[in-house]
Amino acid sequence: MAMAALHKRRTSVGIILGRSEAGWGGAGAAPTDRGGSAWAASAGKSGRSCRGGEGVSSLVPAGRRIVTRVQATDPQPFRTNRPTDPERMDAPDVPQAEIARSFRFIRMVNRWFGGTSACMGVLRREARTWPRDRPMRWIDLGTGAADIPLAVDRWAATRGLAVECFAVDNHVACLQVARAAVGSHPRVRVMEGDALDPNLARDLLRSGARHTAFDYAHAGMFLHHLRDEDVVRVLRTMGGLATRRIIWNDLLRAPWSERAVRLATLGQSEMVRYDALLSVRKGFTPSEARAAAEAAGLEEVEVRSNPLVGRFVLTARSAAKMEP
């Protein structure tokens, strides 16, 4: 990140949003996790390429979705023209009251505009063949308010699926919000850790983690806070932590997303309005997401794009952990 504080955490203030998922399901419909994933898509090809709310939507028409599967080749430098200005929520001295107010808005936005559906869609597909004799273990980097881990746990509990999550952040104000939300939850644990620290696994063990091998490593609305080179570093770290797949969901950068965010933040605080608009401008195009995965040396990369909510989800595996 351009500033040290910006390295430390992810915030989902910018999870903005083209359209309400409730609208897709009919007037007043609430999000649901039944049926197919809102992020399922038809396959496509390209030359090289490759957080809370509750509920999951399956309401986007298939024709709106795009998937690209590729095998990574030689890593190339990852460079974009995204702005590098820090978001105000990333400041180490941001008032706790302002953080709490912002996360109330974020939880509402995530619930109705798909903040959890990108991650949940991937885990739902994986759960279809998941063995019932052990829990699904995952780590959420830049967890913010830990809303996605809690939403995943609620979903898993309704299906008799055991899920354990380490929710990791190292912004003091975010950790306070996350710990208040999680409390003494038996399956979600909030831990301090820096996703940009090469010794993250060691630090987790020192903090009491029983293991540092996870089935999945997730980053939601986090990586757009980072500089390009640090995006690649975190993706590489995620590949090292995950034995199955990494899951990266973030913002699509597009002019119409900026117009949508201005509407979505009407009546919100000045900090929320500022950060939300900047978050969209710091988002990624699908091709940029693929390029970042290539630069991180990831394989089996798949990018799913949902233009209606201005988001994408990328899944991949570390080349070092590919099965023969």
Q: What is the mean pLDDT of the chain?
A: 79
Structure confidence at residue 234 (pLDDT): 97
pLDDT tier at 117, thresholds 50, 70, 90: confident
Through-space distance between the first and last CA atoms of the chain, rounded to whole angstroms: 36
Q: Which residue has the higher pLDDT, 254 or 321?
A: 254
Structure confidence at residue 233 (pLDDT): 96
When divided into structural domains, the chain yields a total of 1
* Host domain of residue 230: 4-321
At residue 51, does pLDDT exceed 60? no
pLDDT tier at 104, thresholds 50, 70, 90: confident
Q: Is the CB of residue 73 less than 8 Å from the CB of residue 48?
A: yes
Structure confidence at residue 16 (pLDDT): 33
Q: Which of 63-67, 78-82, 111-115, 308-312 has the lowest mean pLDDT?
A: 63-67
Average pLDDT on 157-161 reads 93
Q: Which residue has the tokens 């915030």?
A: 11
Average pLDDT on 168-189 reads 95
Structure confidence at residue 100 (pLDDT): 87
Q: List CB contacts of 186: < 8 A, sequence separation 6 or more.
A: none
Q: Which residue has the tokens 């003091």?
A: 172
Task: Give the whole-angstrom CA distance, residue 146 versus residue 298.
Answer: 26
pLDDT tier at 310, thresholds 50, 70, 90: confident
pLDDT tier at 255, thresholds 50, 70, 90: confident
CATH (domain of 247): 3.40.50.150
Task: Give the whole-angstrom CA distance, residue 280 versus residue 28.
Answer: 26
Residue 100, token pair as written in the block:
């709490």
Instruction: Record the pTM.
Output: 0.78
Residue 176, token pair as written in the block:
């306070």
Q: Is the CB of residue 163 less than 8 Å from the CB of residue 138?
A: yes
Average pLDDT on 14-22 reads 32
At residue 65, does pLDDT exceed 70? no
Q: Are strands 136-141 and 42-44 parallel, antiparallel or unpaired?
A: unpaired
pLDDT tier at 322, thresholds 50, 70, 90: low
Backbone angles phi and psi of 251, in degrees to 5: -90, 140
Average pLDDT on 19-31 reads 32
At residue 72, does pLDDT exceed 80? no
Structure confidence at residue 17 (pLDDT): 34
Q: What is the dihedral of CA 222, 192, 185, 201, to 10 degrees?
A: 90
Q: How many CA atoms, within 13 angstroms, populate the side-chain half-sphere of residue 13?
A: 31
Backbone angles phi and psi of 284, in degrees to 5: -130, 155
pLDDT digits (tens, 9 = 90+) for 209-252: 888 889 999 999 899 999 999 999 999 999 999 999 999 999 99
Average pLDDT on 116-122 reads 89
Q: Is the CB of residue 91 less than 8 Å from the CB of residue 6?
A: no
Structure confidence at residue 42 (pLDDT): 33
Average pLDDT on 152-167 reads 95
Structure confidence at residue 284 (pLDDT): 97
Torsion-angle region of 160 (φ positive above 0: left; ψ -120 to 50: alpha; else: beta): left
Structure confidence at residue 290 (pLDDT): 96
Task: Give the whole-angstrom CA distance, residue 239 versus residue 228.
Answer: 17
Q: Which residue has the higher pLDDT, 58 or 251?
A: 251
